[in-house]
Amino acid sequence: MINDLWYKNAVIYCLSVATFMDANGDGVGDFQGLMRRLDYLQGIGVTAIWLMPFQPSPFKDDGYDIADYYGVDPRYGTLGDFVEFTQGCKQRGLRVLIDLVVNHTSNEHAWFQDARKEPVSKYRNWYVWSKKKPKNASSGVVFPGVQKSTWTYDDAAREYYFHRFYDFQPDLNTANPEVQAEILKIMGFWLQLGVSGFRMDAVPFVIAEKGAHLKKPAEQYDMLRTFSQFLTWRQGEAIILAEANVLPDTDMEYFGKDGERLQMMFNFEVNQNLFYALASSDTRPLVKAVKATSKRPASAQWGSFLRNHDELDLGRLEDEQRETVFAAFAPESNMQLYGRGIRRRLAPMLQGDRRRLELAYSLMLTLPGTPVIRYGDEIAMGENLRLSERNSARTPMQWSTEPQGGFTKNDKPVLPVISEGAYGFQHVNVAQQRRDPNSLLNWMERMIRMRKEVPEIGWGDFKFLNARSTSVVAMRYDWRKNAVLCVHNTSSEPIEIRMAVDGPDESGCSLVNLLSDDHSHPEQDGRHRVLLEPYGYRWYRVCGLDYLLKRTEV
Ligand code: GLC
């Protein structure tokens, strides 16, 4: 049983401690720095923070190669600092989710070192071995072009070990009950230190059978129930938000028929089709994706997002659709990655066009789910394509016009701060945007506030209204006798739409604009006529017909 469904109407902000704020001047962000920025985060209105991995790590995959699950990397601070941080969040009503990376460890983890050196080690069976190189060793790599194999020979072990990701990330044998017990222990540990749950990394791989001779590894879905049950036994409000880029017809396996498995999953299906809609102005595949992922238990929730810390994975689109998105948003091969994705930030993909940025964010915020915002996107940060692979979109937060964008006093930051061109910190930073009432930052703050005030989106049922245009999405949410209507024009052309909207009673309805004064009354035929400017959007509350009239009388 879940005692508190806080995540149904939350706004999550994801950040990496390493690149957010450096307090001690060593060039690497830290918990002390992050703590200084908690009022900023509370100010923009987010209700939860998702921290990328911060545990001790050789840092070969941005910390997704963990060498000790029970600690804080000394570059970021101490466990004491972590608890100060969760306490600081608690004081401000912010919840904390942390990454749970248990598909694999770093090869420097003591478990792996012991396992490879000692055939009788208790840890030997915590990993996945094969005496011979399996025939399918070159299939199933996650990072094509960079990673060649999923099996690598280890000299000390004299066997091959399995690694779904890079060769320095040996897979844990997650079917082993001892490994499962350890995963629960890890979760229990961080729960005690104040977190409200986990963003679970690479879930389809965690639950897949692993071994040398498997033709088609089956998913062990029930493992998810074990994790989730443990969480809620320990702490009723705790959740798992899964990274699971899977086909819609398996969604229910992940959520569980009665919501007994995962509370949340990122909606990758909708994400990819959302970018297709932004690139092509054809919203039909997006509508289809939203409908295809509509089935979920009442307690479950989608995580909606635009960009994250990885490449924008377009692997589920049809080839032609993917080419359309590449042509619009990543025309140069250096902008693309792994043959399936884009390694850019949102703002440069949309050519810094404020109308398109607002449209993209407004649409994402109003899709069924809980929005997850990537740090820096609230000020329209850019990317650095000179950095390797996904690092292009992981540069430090730009706080001010001070050297290194105010991120650090050190002249050698962990990753270079963007300091050239239109997206350099001199032009794109928090300090300037705070002072400017028309900045994207202040726009985002208003939108987040309004998003929280329309719980219909997080909780309600939705349906699409027929706006008679393939470039327009019109969605209505109903919850507890309240309704909102969100309309988005993905096209660069203005469009007039006419819509029939049901009111609370038979006399029709008025639409109260939640973001401006431009409300709507039905015309004689009972329909609403809305003129949407290029990339225009509207959020309306559906009210009784006499609502606006009454207001003007007052
Ligand atoms: C997930 C993370 C990614 C990481 C990979 C391996 O996909 O999002 O950044 O490289 O897992 O842990």
Please tell us whether the domain made up of 460-553 is placed in CATH 3.40.640.10.
Answer: no
Mean pLDDT of the chain: 96
Q: What is the pLDDT of residue 422?
A: 98
Atom of ligand 1 nearest to the CA of 61: 10
Structure tokens at 267: 């909606």
Half-sphere exposure of 465 (CA within 13 A, CB side): 19
Hey, which of 100, 310, 390 would you mutate to test ligand 1's pocket, going by the most ligand atoms within 8 Å of its Cβ? Answer: 310
What number is the average pLDDT over the span 122-131? 97
The residue among 137, 48, 127 whose CA lies nearest residue 86 is: 48
Q: What percent of the chain clears pLDDT 70, i.e. is strictly above it? A: 98
pLDDT in tens, 129-152: 999 999 989 988 999 989 999 999
- Residues in contact with ligand 1 by the CB-under-6-Å rule are 61, 64, 101, 165, 201-202, 243, 309-310
Where helices occur in 37-176 by DSSP H, the ranges are 38-44, 79-91, 110-117
CA 16 – ligand 1 centroid, Å: 13
> What is d(CA 469, CA 44) in angstroms, rounded to the nearest whole number?
34
pLDDT in tens, 197-213: 999 999 999 999 999 98
177 φ/ψ sector (left φ>0, alpha ψ -120 to 50, else beta)? alpha
pLDDT at position 334 over 80: yes
pLDDT at position 508 over 90: no
Q: Which fold is adopted by the domain 110-162?
A: Oligo-1,6-glucosidase; domain 2 (3.90.400)
pLDDT in tens, 337-377: 999 999 999 999 999 999 999 999 999 999 999 999 999 99
Residue nearest to atom 4 of ligand 1 (CA): 64
Q: What is the pLDDT of residue 505?
A: 75
The residue among 23, 15, 18, 29 whose CA lies nearest residue 89 is: 15
Residue nearest to atom 12 of ligand 1 (CA): 64
> How far is residue 334 from each of residues 60, 124, 144, 315, 383, measured CA to CA in Å?
21, 40, 15, 17, 12
> What is d(CA 340, CA 343) in angstroms, rounded to the nearest whole number?
10
Q: What is the pLDDT of residue 552?
A: 57
Atom of ligand 1 nearest to the CA of 310: 9
The residue among 507, 502, 503, 497 whose CA lies nearest residue 470 is: 497
Reply yes or no on whether 243 is catalytic.
Answer: yes
Atom of ligand 1 nearest to the CA of 390: 9
Reply yes or no on whether 201 is catalytic.
Answer: yes
What number is the average pLDDT over the span 420-435? 98
Q: Break the chain into its structural domains and give their ranges.
A: 6-102+176-452, 110-162, 460-553
Annotated active-site residue in 62, 243, 251, 377 = 243
> Of 3.40.50.300, 3.40.50.9100, 3.20.20.70, 3.20.20.80, which CATH number belongs to 6-102+176-452?
3.20.20.80
CA 439 – ligand 1 centroid, Å: 32
Q: What is the pLDDT of residue 1?
A: 38
Residue nearest to atom 2 of ligand 1 (CA): 201
R_g over Cα of the chain: 24
